[in-house]
């Protein structure tokens, strides 16, 4: 299998019927427009909020499409993500992107693929990553693609538990995202289960 994704591990740094309702928040920042939406997820059986930040040129270039970065743990991470992206853009190393920040409700449940048995952590938590990934594939991404001018190139980005989910997505559905960014992923979870699976996945990919 050809590996089409990139992994970066570092220690820094109510909608229904598949249509978006009017944003319940729309504000113009200095250069960006942000829109907040809520989706009624059938897969997760709950309401989920996500914030979309549009590129500076989005309104002016009506025919342009943009890569999408899906950032876990909500809009509080948008300022840092924007600052990093702008720095890369200033060096001509990154394009303009659409940022989609997904707010968390139960991050331990959603981000970890296995239930934790490690006594030093919250025993019995986790195990919902497969369902959360299905939410992305079947509900969130199609909805964003339908309502915004998106490129096929998609990135999943998360820190700590979110970093674990990014690595899980790489293994469980490697074609869904074209890049996976894991900031200081909490790979100790469940006796390092994800470390073992990631090593195995990379080894198999290299041999393919």
Indicate the pLDDT class of residue 6, thresholds 50, 70 and 90.
very low
**pLDDT tens-digit readout, 148-196:** 999 999 999 999 999 999 999 999 999 999 999 999 999 999 999 999 9
pLDDT > 60? residue 66: yes
Indicate the pLDDT class of residue 205, thresholds 50, 70 and 90.
confident
pLDDT > 60? residue 25: no
**pLDDT tens-digit readout, 115-141:** 999 998 899 999 999 999 999 999 999
> How high is the mean pLDDT of the chain?
87
Q: In 10 A of CB 50, how many CB atoms?
A: 21
Q: What is the pLDDT of residue 20?
A: 59
pLDDT > 90? residue 22: no
pTM of the model: 0.85
Please compute the mean of the pLDDT values over residues 8-25 and round it to a whole number: 41
Indicate the pLDDT class of residue 208, thresholds 50, 70 and 90.
low
Q: What is the pLDDT of residue 206?
A: 80
- What percentage of the chain has pLDDT greater than the value 90? 78
Q: Residue 167: helix, strand or coil by DSSP?
A: helix
Q: What is the pLDDT of residue 5?
A: 42
Half-sphere exposure of 140 (CA within 13 A, CB side): 29
Spell out the domain ranges in the chain: 7-207
Q: What is the pLDDT of residue 81?
A: 93
Domain 7-207, CATH among 3.40.50.1820, 2.40.30.10, 3.40.50.920, 3.40.47.10: 3.40.50.1820
Indicate the pLDDT class of residue 31, thresholds 50, 70 and 90.
confident
Angle, helices 161-172 vs 189-207, to 10°: value is 30
Q: What is the pLDDT of residue 121?
A: 86
Please compute the mean of the pLDDT values over residues 41-45 and round it to a whole number: 98
pLDDT > 90? residue 34: yes
């Amino acid at each position: 299998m050809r590996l089409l994704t990139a992994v970066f591990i570092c220690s820094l740094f109510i909608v229904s019927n598949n249509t978006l309702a009017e944003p319940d928040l729309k504000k113009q920042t200095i250069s960006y427009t942000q829109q907040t939406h809520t989706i009624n997820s059938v897969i997760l059986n709950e309401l989920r909020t996500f914030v979309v930040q549009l590129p500076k040129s989005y309104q002016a270039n009506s025919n342009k499409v943009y890569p999408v970065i899906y950032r876990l743990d909500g809009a509080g991470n948008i300022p840092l993500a924007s600052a990093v992206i702008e720095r890369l853009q200033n060096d001509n190393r990154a394009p303009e992107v659409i940022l989609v920040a997904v707010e968390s409700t139960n991050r331990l449940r959603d981000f970890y693929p296995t239930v934790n048995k490690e006594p030093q952590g919250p025993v019995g938590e986790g195990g919902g990553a497969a369902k959360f990934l299905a939410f992305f594939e079947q509900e969130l991404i199609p909805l964003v693609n339908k309502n915004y001018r998106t490129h096929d190139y998609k990135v999943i980005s998360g820190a700590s538990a979110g970093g674990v989910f990014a690595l899980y997505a790489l293994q469980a559905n490697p074609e869904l995202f074209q890049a996976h960014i894991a900031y200081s992923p909490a790979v100790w979870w469940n006796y390092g289960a994800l470390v073992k699976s990631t090593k195995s996945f990379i080894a198999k990919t290299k041999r393919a």
